[in-house]
Structure 1
Amino acid sequence: MATKFDKGEITEAANAIGDLMNDMSAFKALEKHWPNAGKMPLAMWLERIVDDRRNAVVAHAEHLKIAFAQMEEKLKKIAADFSNADGQNAEAISKVIAGLESSVVSAVNTFDKEVESNQHNYSPGQGKGKVGDGYSQNLNTSITT
């Protein structure tokens, strides 16, 4: 006995999932703001903490966008390739879905590596990987005044 499903509804769900993170403007706006708390050690530490958290929020949004895009792709493939879920098709559907987690993990890892290699902030005179840029910082360093 075959399990029926509605290709149109699956495609519609795929499109809705794919559209969830289309508007990234709030996260893009965060990227270019470097906190300015002052030049004393505590203020500079606070800047690094705020910058680190801001970067994490932006990265999480990108990770969600990647995951939703992969889900959309897999659901559309299922909707396009199958009209029911009999024994043979159920196996084929399982194969389509089986690679989803590793596909998302791989895409996120690739994104993270690219971000890490290009990471910089937008403050004048501060470049990639230099102390004071908010990246590659040891946030556990004791603060002395």
Structure 2
Amino acid sequence: MAMSTKFDGDAIRASAGNIGKIMDDMSAFEALKPQWPNAGKFKLAVWLERVVDDRRNGIVAHAEHLKIAFAEIEEKLNAIANDFENADGENAEKIKNSLAELEGLIIGEVNDFDTDTENEQHNHTTDPGAANDAHDGDGYNDNMNDEVTT
């Protein structure tokens, strides 16, 4: 029994547009970014700042990661729809390569976002008694099990 495949480029483009719009409204996450605790300069307060900051940055990062992924998916689906409309052997290979490239693009952009966040976020009291990144005042890559020295 032979199977046939139907292709609807307009439907793929419409789906791509819908996926691309999912994270258009980032206002809740933008409003969350500047909020940081100022609990005081004693061990429990500094530890609490780090925990709150870590959780806040985690929420914002997850939203940004989704936005990145959905934007890449939208772009690739549109490219695939265009390639399918002119499908021959060469374009079939382009479609296969587009799908293979998608994961690498998303991972690369997510890693770039995380690096930028790590370099730019300084939202809680730095713990000067510690000599590593886990106490640098950004709450992004902190090890919550490390002892607070302040």
TM-score norm. by structure 2 comes to 0.78
Hey, what does 2:145 align to over in structure 1?
Answer: 140
Q: How does 1:1-145 map to 2 (within 5 A)?
A: 3-83=5-85, 89-121=91-123, 133-135=137-139, 137-142=142-147
Q: Quick one: percent identity of the two aligned structures?
A: 55
Distance (whole Å) between structure 2 residues aligned to residue 7 and residue 132 of structure 1 = 49
TM-score norm. by structure 1 comes to 0.80
Q: Give yes or no for contact 1:47–1:134 (8 Å, CA) kept in 2.
A: no
Question: CA-to-partner distance for each residue in 1:104-134, whole Å, 9 max, x for gaps?
Answer: 111111122222222222x7x97xx8x6734
Cα distance 1:120–1:37, how it changes in 2: closer, same or farther (>3 A)?
closer
Q: What letter matches 1:32 in structure 2?
A: P
C-alpha deviation, 1:86, in angstroms: 6.2
Larger RCO: 1 or 2 (CA < 8 Å, sep 6+): 1
Structure 2: tracts of 5 or more residues without a match: 127-132
SS of corresponding position for 1:139: coil
Structure 1: tracts of 5 or more residues without a match: none
Stretches of 4+ moved more than 3 A in 1? Answer: 36-40, 84-90, 134-138
